[in-house]
Structure 1
Amino acid sequence: MRPAWWGAFANADHELLKQGFYVAFVDMSYTGASEEAMKILDNMYDVCTKKYGLSKKATLEGLSRGGLSSLMWANRSPQKLACVYVDNPVCDVMTISPNFIEEIRREWGLENMQNFKGSPIHNYKKLAKSKVPVLFIAGLLDETVPNATNAKPYVEAFKKAKGSIKYVGKPDGKHHPHGLQNPALIVDFIKSAYGKI
């Protein structure tokens, strides 16, 4: 299930499709993991599993803002997942641009963002405890979603909580391009997760 950026940096999707997987998309590219956004993913899961009969264990694939929604929903519903793949995901809303923070405030219907806890950095323990495997790819030079305040603390906290996470840091990577030039690692990670359920 991919909740944002249809067709962007999709070489892993193309390879998975060739190998018999399905890619389901709902456009949540400009949402911020609010309760309403989580309900969209709940509905997407139900459509995939109940209407189309796809696996009850889904893969979430989240790039950037899509990673924000993916990680938040994964922590809420790990029992519905085979694995999670995120790339340069927003892990701490409060470390992104002021415009982005304001968008999130409006979506969540808050008066202010003081003590905001709606970021993956505050919502990871249930996913970690579930042992659902997570593939986390991050550009170390990401200028949009800074590594030092997003990927690094999230991965460290997830590992400390004894979660199953594979971290791939791209030394010269910026926010774009997402993914890997050779998608084999991503494809193999997802296939391996399905081999274990």
Structure 2
Amino acid sequence: MKILVTGFDPFGDDLINPAIEAVKQLPDEISGAEIIKLEIPTKFNVSAQAVHDAIEQHQPDYVLNIGQAGGRFALTPERIAINLDDGRIEDNAGYQPFNHTIHEDGQTAYFTQLPVKAMAQAIREAGLPAEVSNTAGTYVCNHIMYQVQYMRDKEFPQIKAGFMHIPFLPEQVTSRPETPSLSLADDVRGISAALSAIVARDGQADVMTVEGKTH
């Protein structure tokens, strides 16, 4: 089994992005699965092509994109991606879309094929905070999650794909009072636990645990 794991480069005012830093430190093999690591740019119009090229080259069974979610306290596997780009800030190419449809012939939204409840459960069992998220936002994180689902819909039906957000690193919150953070070592441990859950649930439905939200 092959799992392609991607992480974004730094964006905005931050000089570091926990996503790519954690991805770079992942083991090359987890639970018998080969882990293929890829850095992708925080750019709406470039990131998808980088992932597309890697899928063509490596032919992975799974794709897990990792992104930073400043302000969240937990590692959060994403349940759904929506067909909308609406940038709060410019991306690293200076592009800031407003109410932009990603693909006119794409679905309004795509649900992940990853066992997000099992992933969250495995992360918590590793001693780290985790919960299933029902919104990946409208920035480049949602964009890449949607784009990979679109690729699966139109070109690569054999893959299963999804996204997970991780919190700021401690060094990113020194000037952000009362903002949660997680160490890089814990990020790596949490992502590894999530990947182990993906392998363990291969060919099976997700676990039946409560991960819903009231609002």
**Quick check: TM above 0.5?**
no
TM-score, scaled relative to structure 1:
0.43
Q: Structure 1 or 2: larger strand share?
A: 2
With normalisation by structure 2, the TM-score equals 0.40
Structure number with the bigger relative contact order (C-alpha 8 A, sep ≥ 6) is 2
